[in-house]
Amino acid sequence: MKTSARLLLTAALAIGMVASTSAKETRPNFVIIFTDDQGYGDLSCFGGKHVSTPRIDQMAAEGSRLTSFYVAAPVCTPSRAALMTGCYPKRIDMATGSNFGVLLAGDTKGLNPGEITIAEVLKRAGYKTAIFGKWHLGDQPEFLPTKQGFDEFFGIPYSHDIHPFHPNQERRQFPPLALLENETVIEMDPDADLLTRRITEHAVSFIERNKDEPFFLYVPHPIPHRPLHVSPPFMTGVASEITDKLKNEGDSIDYDTRNRLFRQAIAEIDWSVGQILDTLKAQGLDEETFVIFTSDNGPAVGSAGPLKGRKGSTYEGGMRESTVIRWPGKIPAGKSNDELITAMDLLPTFAKLAGAEIPMDRLIDGKDIWPTLTGKAGTPHEAFFYHRGDRLEAVRAGKWKLHAKDGQPTQLYDLENDIGEKKNLIKTEPKVVQRLQALVKTFADDVAENNRPAAFVRDPKPLSK
């Protein structure tokens, strides 16, 4: 080969390598680990003494704790709808199920297939996409994850307590719980004790199979939603009083006894996080992957830590989540970030990092928070709005949070100095109240004018094998 030709080939290869490296650097992988009903105080790195979460604590030491991270609703379905679409649930008509606070088995309602999810945004940019865990945005064929941008799905269509053993079964006749692989029911009444382990195994396999191309992995664990279930390895050391009662459950579920497995359930979730992080490292993807750990709403069994309120509440404990993010070399290590950030922000932020297109034909409430996560800017949100179902019950702007009932302001808190919402300043800060009321009115008017419908089906059928 002549010297000039050899030089040209070497230059071309070098340019190709630079382009390839550059493209890879601008297209990170994304992993969202999303637990169910885990409270602000249910991580040891957030002060929890009743749990032990060494792998998540390590993740926080290598990344950042987000201490003012909010989900858009205090219950399952609307919170997940907001995560997937980047929109307040009321804007997309997903603030409730068709006749209950969340979607139930065989519900007529589901996330509109016309919505563009975070999975669809990334899939259109060439990402492989998967969800392993709990969906809860519609169980009819039209609403399943594979119709909303996910290449793979393994998991359950809604909360695992929507089954014949629900404690309020006299009021609702729920069918057996279905376990799906993509759009096919593969089991009925799966062993719930093994769900966390099986979900984790699918997540690990997905990473290993897609290590050479960008991917988006969504792991919405069904636990620690009641009833608590734990695989056998994590039952070691549990008091015989508890294990004996569980052996005698028979054709029922002993919710009260299972509540005492909370520490073990969180330990298994922590193990799962470790398995995912270890797999990323083993596959050489550690520094190419953005990982976030959070939950869908406040606790039913666990602890909200210093926060007031629990699941179902628009006090901080219902919607403010202990959250950890990690991306070595990109996210500041060992830092706490107290800027106001929401689950709705992940869609536009991931899109920006992936070089993907955000839908321009609709209003998206989430913001690009990458400058906020890296400490280069404050929150892009002027305000955050707290809904309980369709009712707008509170607003936060800066350090101030205003609660209202039937449109009338009732409580004002300085969250910077009173995270537990204990000292009501409604009578001493009239100008703040007036300013926040104006924000509520502007936002309510905007949602009334700019909203989109959910989707409905006729004659929905319960899933069966």
Q: CA-CA distance, 49 to 305, in Å (whole number)? A: 10
Contact 320, 73 (CB under 8 A): no
Q: Which of 45, 50, 76, 225 is catalytic?
A: 76
Is 136 considered catalytic here?
yes
Q: CA-CA distance, 224 to 230, in Å (whole number)? A: 10
DSSP 51: -
Phi, psi angle pair for 30, to nearest 5°: -130, 135
Contact 18, 30 (CB under 8 A): no
Q: Residue 195 has which token pair?
A: 């769900």
Nearest residue to 69 via CA among 291, 317, 319? 319
Q: What residues contact residue 44 under an 8 Å CB cut-off, 6+ apart?
A: 51, 52, 53, 54, 56, 57
The 400-405 sheet, strands edge to edge: 384-388, 391-397, 400-405, 408-414
Nearest residue to 301 via CA among 134, 465, 91, 161? 161
DSSP 101: S
Is 45 considered catalytic here?
no
What is the H or E stretch that residue 54 is in? helix 54-62
Question: Nearest 5°: CA angle at 224, between 221 and 230?
Answer: 85
Q: CA-CA distance, 293 to 322, in Å (whole number)? A: 8
Q: Which of 87, 136, 160, 387 is catalytic?
A: 136
Which long-range contacts does 172-180 make (Cβ < 8 Å, 24+ apart)? 172/104, 174/104, 174/105, 175/105, 175/106, 175/462, 175/463, 175/464, 176/464, 178/139, 178/463, 178/464, 178/465, 179/154, 179/155, 180/144, 180/153, 180/154, 180/155, 180/156, 180/463
For the annotated catalytic residues, the residue numbers are: 76, 136
